[in-house]
Chains A and B, each alone.
Chain A
Amino acid sequence: MAKTVLEFEKPILELEQKMEEMRRYADNPDIALEIAKIEKRVGQLQLTIYAGLTRWQKVQLARHPDRPYTLDYIGMITKDFVELHGDRYYRDDKAIVGGLATIEDRKVMLIGHQKGRDTKSNVYRNFGMPNPEGYRKALRLMKLAEKFKLPVVTLLDTPGAYPGLEAEERGQAEAIARNLMEMSRLRVPIVVAIIGEGASGGALGIGVGDRILMMENSWYSVISPESCSSILWRSWDYKEQAAEALQLTAPDLKKQGIIDEIMPEPLGGAHRNPEQAARVLKDTIVQELKQLAKIKPEKLLERRIEKFSAMGVWVG
């Protein structure tokens, strides 16, 4: 059972608690029968609730404090991970981690946003909000990958690039723009997976690639529902409507032609069964790497530019 229960999960929790209590009297065959009945109802309720999640509820799952983060997945899907630090200009940004890793005998450069799980680690990780040096570290590692012909895998999970005074002084916009351009012409395959929050340029800053994968309960958009609400409705209270309007879920983005594949999560979200979520992530990445390895660099780059060139809807 997860530590944090979201509002819409409460009916499930109530039944589960009831069941837990009854288990103490499970010797009684009548009660045992009753438990079996409730168990079935819990199963049905989970199916109904999780199958009918609104976009805002999915945003909440994407931000669930128990959700696996980049380093958790690295622990579950790679072996021999060697973390590399620093952008060589200013400092090591803790909101982006990266390094050499092996995924099923495939050597890769793995880079991802990293959130913290409690106050202390969140301060350390700056809530997963990178400064320019984070993007510059990521770029350094990607260039290293290119040099040694290693494919790049990036995991996206950020509430946004940090909107701070020093971030501006050190060129937040330039750092992101540079990555978009350099990732477009990196001569090795790039697989991008959105594992939690994909908030705007802060996410896209390590998100240009040949294949874009998205976990079922993650979100990806140009702005968070809250900020969108505050700007367009001039109030923080319209986040649900904003989430609906922005169409920011995995199926939405598939329909818009932005992502290639949706990775199914365990019922109720990745945090309910991290190993299962990790298995799907790993299998999908390996599958994509296998396909991409067959394509020559020139063709790869041509297709990558074409892929992003095709995005957009206009008239005339």
Chain B
Amino acid sequence: MNTPLERREALQQDRQVRYERMVEIRALENKVQDLFDEGLVHGTTHLCLGQEAVAVGVAAAARVTDQVTCTYRGHGVALALGLTPVQLLGEILGREAGSIGGIGGSMHLCDPEIGLMPTFAIVGAGIPVAAGAALTAQVRGTDDAAIAVFGDGSTNIGAFHEALNLAAIWKLPVVFVCENNQYGEYSRIDLTTPVEDIACRAESYAIGGTIVDGQDPDAVAEAVSSALDHARSGGGPTLLELKTYRYAGHSRADTAPYRPDGEFESWYEKDPIVNFGRQLLDEGVLGENGIDEVQATVNARIDAAVELVLDSAPTPVDAMFAHVLAP
């Protein structure tokens, strides 16, 4: 099994690995849903099915020393940054093998080694925190940067606006990545947000705002890369709006009855994994049987991870007392 750092480096260097990682994210999220349906997952889960290209594009562009904040819908971003399937499943299933020892569950992942800051279950909370990570880079004079990944619904909360303003006036090296999946919980964006494109909100903070095809991992990586270059060279923050779609409901039990007919189908036609797979076949990056081979590799990896995690020790009760305060 590769380490998180190895997984990250491979993804940065190789587009085939990016494809494979998207397949892995999809397969793992589906596995999480299965485990949930089997009654093995305590609590709740928020799946990122359909949003795999965002996660992989961001991780491909970010350096391993850049800091990333993301949300409860963060399994994909975490895996793309390098978190292993065992670390993820272990956390969701409450095992010591989990990314933070099984004390956090589905919404709380973290791995500083790959720049994954503790993930946020409070909407908008990660946005100013990313600005703070960028402040560290600025004060210390490194050329690292920070990335905040958050949803469209989060742009209606004060933290978003305060963070953008602050980052703009201090020219902080941070990239604000909005995953616009069209919904916040059960409400379509047009019911809660007066503008169609989140990117236009950048204008009020005098920073760049760009709309990106969030279903294309190359487009995402390119947009994040150039925003990071801008940030590292002292140009300040950028707001990127990645248009994407959440295939599953908001959380475990939501069957998304509020979606208009045909909406899911029209997005599924633009499926990021199918499209990127096709593209890599055309380019010859994937061989003739490449798609099936990747799927088989990923399936075997996930089956092994599930088996390992289910056989591993549950988080012991006294783990709740560790790490409340730093020593």
Are A and B associated in one complex? no
Using a CB–CB cutoff of 8 Å, the interface residues on chain B facing chain A are none
